[in-house]
């Protein structure tokens, strides 16, 4: 039996973890050193070999047109592809290369032990299309033994982080927590219930929200802008000229990050930028840094308030706030949350919490596979699709995860088009709901379903606030059906949050899985063949 691993596929950095033979969490070290791999891909224009990670970033600096980064922001986008060196690639294809690099490093790290499958994490607000793209990316990775990687589950990042936190606590607890995850490029916030009492252990995601364009890099930019403006005011230099000078870009890139880290432990830091022979000492206090970045922090608070209001929750029901993500190390984050909400704030291994949680879920699947009955698929989680994690001592915790989107069909109500939600946001995953339709004419050939996704928590949503998922979703019908013949359409949202639609001809008792065509066509596989033939340097 091989190893099941957890992969934190991040916007800016990725990380792999697993539970080792001693029951401890192990983080895989990248070939270039360090526990994280930059999510950057570079295609050599001469050989079309691909490079992933820190080396890619350096190569890409020379040939930016051959480099791709932050591709996660486009996962699931039905129209987005990238042209690199004359070849088209989908975000899924690029992510597949990143995953390939991570898998190669892991295989080397494990020293020959096979990888049986992987849990891959994604932001909680990823919809069906983005999750499907992530799954396709993973399933197109070829292992060293020639087999394809098994994607065991797509796991929400805040769930993974909360799992890691909950698993680290051995004492009984019953609390509702808010997981505040501020990474390098994305922000997630989630409310969860943790119930660890005696032998009963469960965790439940209540609701989630986020912004995948907001992260620690924005704080760096704000600080750099301040320093540049101060320098230019003192020396008379042109801010545009400074900010566009390549040497200055390198200098600020190196020193702003250092200054931000220094302000984590100290109240002041000073920088001495220089440009065209002029130098000036710029002092930055923590107060100044906080002022310059206040609007960014406000955005996170607004997202929290919005999430709570939609669910009709107040902060009174929250017992504790858990900080996840390297950017939560900034003292302003903890201070603002304390001032705003007066709740205990805890931090669990900000950089590795998500990967740790993914490893725990992978271990749970490992444990369940050893107890599978003959003939039973050992990969299936124990509790009918819910998540089970394995701890160091072999105990298992069932995790109840809720849907982060609502899914419904276009319908007519009072003469207006609406979306009738069939699977509601915040219902438990896996979620299965069936609706009965009738054929409108005799010998009807097919049903064309218009399937939408939205953030509404009510039974109806407007078309404007919804996103159509499929270009066509045709249900072929059995010939000879009378008008009004019943057809049961079942929406099955699996534990990974990916939608599967089945149709049952009730009259003839014939069931089939619908194969919809996504908006934008088979976008995920654009460039996938080229990726398979691409050597990873």
Partner 1 sequence: MEYEENFNPWSVTEESVEQNNICENDARKEAQNVGCVSEAKSEEVVHETPANAQCEENSQGTNCQNEVMNENQAPAQAAAPEQNVEMCQCEAAEASNEEAVPVQEEKPIVSFDEYKELTNAHFQNLRSLIKYTKTKDETIFKMNGELQKYREGYCTKAFKSIATLVISYREDCRKALEDLEKYDNDVQKVQKYIYFLVDDYNELLSNAGIENDGEMWRFNGKALSFNGRKYVKFPPAFQDAPELVENEVELDGEGLKEYLKSFEQNVKALLANNEMLDKSLNEYLKLSLAIENDVILTGFYPALKKMISVADKIAELVEASAKSVTEENKNDKYALCLNYLIDSLEDVLLIGGVSIYTTVDETFDTRKNRLVKAIVTTDKSLDRMIAKQYTECYIMNDAVIYPAKVDVYKYQEQN
Number of residues that bind partner 1 (CB under 8 A): 30
| Shortest separation between residue 66's beta carbon and partner 1, angstroms | 11
Distance CA 99, CA 96 (A): 5
Distance in Å, CB of 272 to partner 1, minimum: 6
Burial status of residue 227 (CB atoms within 10 A of its CB: 0-12, 13-18, 19 or more): buried
148 near partner 1 (CB under 8 A): no
Which range of residues in 80-88, 268-276, 358-366, 516-524 is near partner 1 by CB under 8 A? 268-276
Q: Quick check: 281 binds partner 1 (CB under 8 A)?
A: yes
Q: How many CB atoms lie within 10 A of CB 141?
A: 25
Burial (CB count <10 Å: 0-12, 13-18, 19+), residue 428 = middle
Q: What angle do CA 199, 201, 207 make, to 5 degrees?
A: 165
For partner 1, which residue of 148, 169, 279, 436 counts as binding (CB under 8 A)? 279
- DSSP letters spanning 306-369: HHHHHTT--GGG--EEEEESGGGGSHHHHHHHHHHH---EEE--TTTHHHHHHHHHHHHHHHHH
Which of 496, 305, 497, 489 lies closest to 406, judged by CA?
Answer: 497
Site for partner 1 in 15-44 (CB under 8 A): 21-24, 33
Which residues on neighbouring strands pair with residue 174, listed in sequence order?
A: 195
48 lies in the binding site for partner 1 (CB under 8 A): no
The rounded Cα 195 to chain-centroid distance in angstroms is 25
Beta bridge partners of 432: 492
Which region among 103-111, 131-139, 247-255, 342-350 touches partner 1 (by CB under 8 A)?
247-255
- Nearest approach in angstroms of CB 213 to partner 1 is 26
Query: Using the rule CB under 8 A, is 507 a contact of partner 1?
Result: no
Cα(144)–Cα(290) distance, rounded to whole angstroms?
A: 48
**Beta-strand pair 115-122/3-8:** parallel
Given the complex with partner 1, which of 245 and 349 has the nearer CB atom? 245
Instruction: Decide if residue 169 touches partner 1 (CB under 8 A).
Output: no
Q: State yes or no: residue 175 binds partner 1 (CB under 8 A).
A: no
| Alpha helical stretches, state H, 3-90 | 54-62
Distance in Å, CB of 384 to partner 1, minimum: 28
The Cα 81–Cα 197 span in angstroms is 49
d(CA 284, CA 399): 45
CB 305 to partner 1: min, Å = 38
Binding status of residue 171 toward partner 1 by CB under 8 A: no
The binder of partner 1 chosen from 35, 48, 55, 502 (CB under 8 A): 55
Residue range at the interface with partner 1 (CB under 8 A); choices 57-65, 98-106, 292-300, 319-327: 57-65
Where does this chain touch partner 1 (CB under 8 A) — which range of 60-68, 212-220, 473-481, 518-526?
A: 60-68
For the CB of residue 391, give the shortest distance to partner 1 in the complex, in Å.
12
For residue 278, state whether it binds partner 1 (rule: CB under 8 A): yes
Task: List, as one string, the DSSP characters of 88-120.
Answer: EE-HHHHHHHHHHHHHHHHHHHHTTPPEEEEEE
Question: Residues 174, 200, 250, 515: which binds partner 1 (CB under 8 A)?
Answer: 250
User: Which of residues 62, 111, 145, 171 is near partner 1 by CB under 8 A?
Assistant: 62
Q: How many CB atoms lie within 10 A of CB 345?
A: 17
Residues 358-397: x/- map of binding to partner 1 (CB under 8 A)? -----------------------------------x----
Smaller CB separation from partner 1, 23 or 521: 23
List contacts with partner 1 (CB under 8 A).
21-24, 33, 55, 58-59, 61-63, 246-247, 249-250, 254-255, 258, 262, 266, 269-270, 272, 274, 276-279, 281, 393
């Amino acid at each position: 039996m091989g190893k099941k691993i957890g992969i934190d596929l991040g916007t800016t950095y990725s990380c792999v973890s697993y539970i080792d033979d001693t029951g401890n969490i192990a983080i895989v070290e990248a070939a270039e050193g360090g526990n994280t791999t930059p999510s950057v891909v570079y295609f050599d224009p001469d050989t079309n070999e691909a490079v992933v990670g820190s080396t890619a970033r350096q190569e890409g600096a020379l040939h930016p047109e051959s480099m791709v980064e932050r591709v996660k922001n486009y996962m699931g986008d039905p129209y987005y592809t990238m042209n690199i060196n004359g070849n088209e690639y989908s975000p899924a294809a690029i992510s597949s290369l990143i995953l390939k690099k991570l898998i190669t490093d892991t295989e080397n790290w494990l020293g020959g032990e096979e990888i049986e499958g992987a849990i891959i994490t994604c932001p909680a607000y990823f919809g069906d299309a983005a999750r499907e793209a992530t799954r396709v990316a993973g399933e197109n990775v070829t292992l060293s033994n020639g087999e394809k990687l098994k994607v065991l589950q797509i796991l929400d990042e805040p769930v993974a982080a909360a799992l890691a936190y909950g698993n680290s606590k051995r004492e009984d607890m019953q609390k509702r927590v808010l997981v505040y995850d501020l990474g390098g490029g994305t922000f997630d916030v989630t409310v969860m219930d943790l119930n660890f009492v005696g032998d009963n252990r469960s965790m439940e995601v209540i609701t989630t929200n986020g912004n995948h364009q907001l992260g620690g890099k924005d704080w760096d930019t704000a600080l750099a802008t301040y320093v540049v403006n101060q320098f230019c005011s003192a020396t008379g230099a042109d801010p545009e000229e400074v900010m566009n000078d390549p040497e200055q870009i390198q200098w600020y890139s190196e020193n702003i990050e250092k200054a931000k880290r220094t302000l984590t432990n100290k109240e002041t830091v000073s920088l001495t930028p220089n440009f065209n022979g002029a130098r000036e000492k710029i002092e930055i206090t923590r107060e100044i840094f906080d002022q310059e970045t206040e609007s960014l922090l406000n955005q996170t608070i607004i997202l929290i308030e919005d999430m709570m209001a939609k669910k009709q929750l107040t902060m009174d029901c929250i017992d504790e706030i858990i900080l996840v993500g390297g950017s939560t190390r900034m003292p302003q984050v903890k201070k603002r949350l304390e001032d705003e909400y007066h709740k205990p704030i805890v931090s669990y291994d900000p950089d590795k919490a998500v990967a740790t949680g993914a490893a725990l879920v992978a271990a749970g699947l490992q444990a369940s596979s050893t107890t599978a009955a003959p003939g039973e698929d050992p990969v299936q989680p124990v509790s009918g699709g819910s998540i089970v994690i394995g701890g160091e001592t072999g105990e298992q915790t069932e995790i109840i995860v809720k849907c982060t989107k609502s899914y419904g069909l276009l319908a007519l109500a009072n003469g207006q088009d609406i979306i009738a939600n069939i699977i509601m946001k915040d219902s438990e995953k896996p979620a299965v709901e069936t609706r009965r339709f009738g054929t409108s004419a005799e010998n009807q050939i097919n049903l064309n379903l218009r399937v939408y996704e939205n953030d509404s928590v009510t039974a109806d949503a407007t078309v404007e606030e919804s996103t159509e998922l499929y270009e066509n979703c045709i249900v072929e019908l059995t010939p000879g059906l009378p008008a009004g013949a019943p057809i049961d359409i079942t929406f099955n949202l699996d534990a990974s949050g990916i939608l599967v639609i089945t149709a049952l001809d009730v009259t003839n008792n014939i069931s089939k899985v619908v194969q919809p065509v996504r908006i934008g066509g088979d976008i995920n596989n654009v460039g996938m063949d080229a990726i398979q033939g691409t050597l990873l340097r």
